[in-house]
């Protein structure tokens, strides 16, 4: 399998960005559609996943059944809109050092009423369908609620995959911070969006961002000679609706991803 004449393996990274529930569904549908066409994003030499992208990346990279996720498995908590507004207002305060802004968001995360932490982790395990890291390189991001520092985990970090993914998608106001070695962690998107910099030095990078139409595209990673960007098309944006956390939009968003896969594969110039 080649991408623009290059082997779709060690020379390629796939970066999967954040996107809430609807973005998660779209990513999974897109991946399912591509896989049905013989294009498996998990064959890349590196997968970077943040928040929604961590969920989709874990399912992809471990060879999970994407079709079973066409329907939202189990009830999902809708984010508290008031707390979400407070989070983004704090992060957007130009008078605050970014790390201090994240620390303040961390305090919001610690006091927000959500489901118990163990329930959140169990839900993520059920969603991803596995507890084991893939054999191929994969990076999952999160943010330390106390220090505000972004962290990156892989299979050598000693963190179980469902725990890492649960931390990466622990958006304040929707899900609780997740404990790792006595410290608490929250959504990786708060520490740098899609974290494209983690693919620095990889020749070809495929960046898939569910919310690029709302927040703009992430910067290209340093050293990349080819960057292919995939974002929701107009039909997918309509399927998302106005609220990225709306669980009723899961199935339409998933199907929009499936429908967009053919066009995405064409732009990737993938051949078998």
Catalytic residues: 51, 187
C-alpha 98/C-alpha 87 separation (Å) is: 13
The values of phi and psi at residue 154, to 5°, are -140, -170
Q: Is 67 exposed, middle or buried (0-12, 13-18, 19+ CB in 10 A)?
A: middle
Residue 208 sits at φ, ψ, to 5 deg, of -120, 115
Q: Show Cβ contacts of residue 82 under 8 Å, excluding neighbours closer than 6 positions.
A: 173
Write out the H or E segment, with its range, that includes residue 125. Answer: helix 117-128
Query: Which helix or strand (DSSP H or E) is residue 166 part of?
Result: helix 161-168
Q: Which helix (H) or strand (E) holds 270?
A: strand 270-271
Q: Based on the number of CB atoms within 10 Å of its own CB, is 257 exposed (0-12), middle (13-18) or buried (19 or more)?
A: buried
Instruction: Tell me which H or E stretch contains 226.
Output: strand 226-230
Are the C-beta atoms of 145 and 167 separated by less than 8 Å? Answer: no
Q: What whole-number distance in Å separates Cα of residue 98 and Cα of residue 36?
A: 42
Residues in contact with 171: Cβ distance below 8 Å, sequence separation at least 6, in sequence order? 20, 51, 79, 84, 87, 186, 187, 189, 190
């Amino acid at each position: 399998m080649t991408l623009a004449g290059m082997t779709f393996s060690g020379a390629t990274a796939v970066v999967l960005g954040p996107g809430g529930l609807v973005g998660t569904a779209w990513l999974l549908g897109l991946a399912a559609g591509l896989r049905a066409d013989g294009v498996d994003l998990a064959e890349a030499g590196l997968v970077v996943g943040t928040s929604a992208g961590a969920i989709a990346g874990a399912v992809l990279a471990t060879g999970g059944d994407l079709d079973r996720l066409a329907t939202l498995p189990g009830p999902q908590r809708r984010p508290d809109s008031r707390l979400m507004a407070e989070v983004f207002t704090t992060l957007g305060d130009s008078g605050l050092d970014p790390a201090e802004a994240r620390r303040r968001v961390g305090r919001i995360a610690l006091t927000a009423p959500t489901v118990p932490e163990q329930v959140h982790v169990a839900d993520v395990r059920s969603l991803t369908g596995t507890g084991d890291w893939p054999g191929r390189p994969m990076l999952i991001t999160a943010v330390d609620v106390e220090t505000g520092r972004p962290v990156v985990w892989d299979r050598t970090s000693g963190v179980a995959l469902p725990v890492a993914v649960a931390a990466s998608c622990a958006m304040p106001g929707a899900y609780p911070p997740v404990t790792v070695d006595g410290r608490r962690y929250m959504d990786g998107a708060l520490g740098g969006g899609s974290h494209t910099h983690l693919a620095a030095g990889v020749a070809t990078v495929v960046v898939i961002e569910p919310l690029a139409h709302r927040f703009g595209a992430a910067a290209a990673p340093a050293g990349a000679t080819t960057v292919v960007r995939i974002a929701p098309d107009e039909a997918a944006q309509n399927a998302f609706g106005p609220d990225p956390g709306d669980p009723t939009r899961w199935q339409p968003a998933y199907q929009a991803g499936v429908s967009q896969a053919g066009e995405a594969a064409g732009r990737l110039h993938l051949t078998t």
